[in-house]
């Protein structure tokens, strides 16, 4: 029996493209050659003007919609809004969803083999930034024959990429969809990332990032990092509603084991993540977040950065998101408005905190869908 719903893109298969042309990075370093793994949904029209780029956040990847096989229990990470008749309607749009450089789901990253040494890169893999990812995604666009995206869309770190696209290649993007994002991290955001990295890098199994050679992984550190991340993705209210002070067992044990359901949940989340995700990629993603600051080149003036932007913008935030609160989206909206750009902004009621951009919510998806329907594409 199939789990696949009727409004799904169905079964999808990741594709891989190999690139031999070196990519210059913001750090001054170079990545000589690399693979891009990506998925596509829908069809590119003959005018090639209906392509939508999906940018993923920290722990997601190219698998944004559909299923990998019959009986696959979970669809892609943004299946709520990508599919026939959905907000990003695959009957109209050709959706391209790449896995970012540095990731651990197929595209070249720290656990890939460095052709120079025939060993895994580990921490020799260069730091990559949002600017680098946009250059990397442009290479993919060129290869796929897309000279202009109808839209570039993402949430959180993905929203930063959409924003950066509008700045970096102003004539290659008609609409930027920036959800639950921020124009740069706050000191508190950086601090949480610093704690996560500290947990990973001080794990005795980290071995300076060369744990692959020791046949181990820094699972404890990655578990702590993910547990911490989870707290920042959920709202205080949502955690309260879901777990409150509910006990794991019938009564308190007064020991250092798990007493409360919320502890049990976090440990489970941390463990399952540590089993599937590469610690070096986690470090790299948190650094990309830290470095993102497009206004820095204009002395902190975000509206100056938007002077040359041509894209129209759709921004959305969620009331209980305290990682990237509505106030952070409003910083972007204000700067766009000041620069005279077209921007639609909506703040949605949600109890799901930062994770709200991944959760079905009629108001959010209706507004997102309405915006997308107004994007003109050739028949």
Tell whether residue 29 is a contact of its own copies (CB under 8 A): yes
Nearest alpha carbon to residue 158 among 71, 78, 95: 78
Run of H or E residues at 53: strand 51-55
Give the CA radius of gyration of the chain: 21
Nearer to its own copies, 191 or 370 (CB): 191
Tell whether residue 121 is a contact of its own copies (CB under 8 A): no
Q: What's the half-sphere exposure (Cβ side, CA atoms, 13 Å) at 115?
A: 7
Tell whether residue 243 is a contact of its own copies (CB under 8 A): yes
Q: Return the residue of 44, 140, 190, 377 that touches its own copies, per CB under 8 A.
A: 190
Nearer to its own copies, 174 or 323 (CB): 323
Helix axis angle, 219-233 to 187-201, nearest 10°: 160
Q: Decide: 316 and 358 in contact? Cβ < 8 Å.
A: no
- Shortest reach from residue 350's CB to its own copies, in Å: 16
Residue appearing with tokens 């044990």: 253
Q: How far apart are CA 84 and CA 155, in angstroms?
A: 20
Q: Decide: 40 and 66 in contact? Cβ < 8 Å.
A: no
- Which window, 55-63, 98-106, 119-127, 147-155, contacts its own copies (CB under 8 A)? 119-127
- Determine whether the annotation assigns residue 323 to a binding site: no
Q: Return the residue of 194, 276, 308, 374 that touches its own copies, per CB under 8 A.
A: 194
Tell whether residue 250 is a contact of its own copies (CB under 8 A): no
Q: Decide: 50 and 44 in contact? Cβ < 8 Å.
A: yes
Nearer to its own copies, 290 or 347 (CB): 290
Q: Return the residue of 91, 119, 148, 202 that touches its own copies, per CB under 8 A.
A: 202
Q: Return the residue of 111, 184, 312, 341 that touches its own copies, per CB under 8 A.
A: 184
Nearer to its own copies, 97 or 280 (CB): 280
Look up residue 135 and give its two tokens: 């250059």
Tell whether residue 62 is a contact of its own copies (CB under 8 A): no
Q: Return the residue of 267, 297, 308, 373 that touches its own copies, per CB under 8 A.
A: 267
Burial of 10 (0-12, 13-18, 19+ CB in 10 A): middle
- Which window, 66-74, 93-101, 106-114, 195-203, contacts its own copies (CB under 8 A)? 195-203
Residue appearing with tokens 């500290």: 198
Burial of 172 (0-12, 13-18, 19+ CB in 10 A): buried
Q: Which residues of 143-166 are buried (b: 16+ CB within 10 A; e: fewer)?
A: ebebeebbbbbbbbbbbbbbbbbb
Q: Return the residue of 144, 239, 304, 377 that touches its own copies, per CB under 8 A.
A: 239
* Residues forming the active site: 156, 321, 354
Q: Return the residue of 108, 220, 281, 351 that touches its own copies, per CB under 8 A.
A: 220
Look up residue 86 and give its two tokens: 């959905």
Cα distances from 80 to residues 184, 196, 273, in angstroms, run 27, 29, 22
Tell whether residue 272 is a contact of its own copies (CB under 8 A): no
Run of H or E residues at 188: helix 187-201
- Shortest reach from residue 98's CB to its own copies, in Å: 22
Q: How far apart are CA 175 and CA 153, in angstroms?
A: 8
- Determine whether the annotation assigns residue 355 to a binding site: yes
Tell whether residue 27 is a contact of its own copies (CB under 8 A): yes
Nearer to its own copies, 288 or 372 (CB): 288
Tell whether residue 147 is a contact of its own copies (CB under 8 A): no
**Binding-site entries:** 226, 355
**Binding-site entries for substrate:** 226, 355
Binding site for its own copies (CB under 8 A): 26-29, 123, 126-127, 184-188, 190-192, 194-195, 197-199, 201-204, 209, 220-221, 223-224, 227-228, 230-231, 234, 236, 239-240, 242-245, 252, 254-256, 259-260, 262-263, 266-267, 270, 283, 287, 290-291, 293
């Amino acid at each position: 029996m199939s789990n696949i719903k009727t409004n799904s893109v169905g079964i999808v298969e990741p594709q891989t493209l190999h690139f031999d042309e070196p990519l210059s990075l913001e750090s001054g370093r170079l990545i000589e050659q690399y693979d891009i793994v990506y998925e596509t949904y829908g069809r590119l029209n003959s005018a090639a003007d209906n392509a939508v780029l999906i940018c993923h956040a920290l722990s997601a990847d190219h698998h944004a919609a559909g299923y990998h096989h019959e009986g696959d229990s979970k669809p892609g990470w943004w299946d709520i809004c990508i599919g026939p008749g959905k907000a990003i309607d695959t009957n109209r749009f050709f959706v391209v969803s790449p896995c970012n450089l540095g990731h651990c789901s197929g595209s070249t990253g720290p656990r890939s083999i460095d052709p120079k040494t025939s060993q895994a890169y580990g921490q020799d893999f260069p730091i990559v930034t949002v600017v680098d990812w946009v250059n990397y995604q442009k290479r993919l666009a060129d290869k796929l024959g897309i000279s202009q995206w109808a839209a570039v869309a993402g949430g959180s770190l993905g929203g930063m990429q959409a924003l950066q696209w509008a700045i970096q290649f102003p004539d290659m993007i008609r609409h930027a969809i920036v959800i639950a994002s921020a124009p740069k991290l706050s000191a508190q955001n950086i601090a949480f990332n610093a704690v996560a990295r500290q947990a990973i890098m001080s794990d005795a199994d980290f071995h300076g990032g060369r744990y692959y050679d020791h046949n181990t992984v820094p699972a404890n550190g990655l578990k702590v990092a993910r547990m911490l991340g989870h707290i920042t993705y959920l709202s205080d209210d949502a955690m309260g509603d879901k777990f409150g002070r509910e006990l794991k067992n019938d009564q308190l044990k007064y020991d250092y084991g798990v007493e409360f359901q919320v502890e049990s949940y976090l440990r489970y989340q941390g463990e399952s993540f540590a089993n599937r995700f590469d610690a070096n990629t986690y470090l790299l993603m948190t650094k990309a977040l830290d470095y993102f600051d497009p206004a820095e080149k204009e002395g902190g003036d975000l509206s100056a950065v938007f002077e040359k932007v041509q894209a129209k913008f759709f921004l959305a935030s969620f009331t209980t998101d305290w990682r990237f609160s509505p106030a952070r989206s409003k910083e972007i909206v204000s700067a766009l408005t000041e620069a005279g750009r077209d921007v639609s902004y909506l703040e949605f009621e949600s109890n799901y905190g930062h994770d709200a951009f991944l959760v079905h919510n009629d108001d959010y998806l209706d507004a997102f869908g309405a915006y997308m329907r107004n994007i003109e594409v050739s028949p």
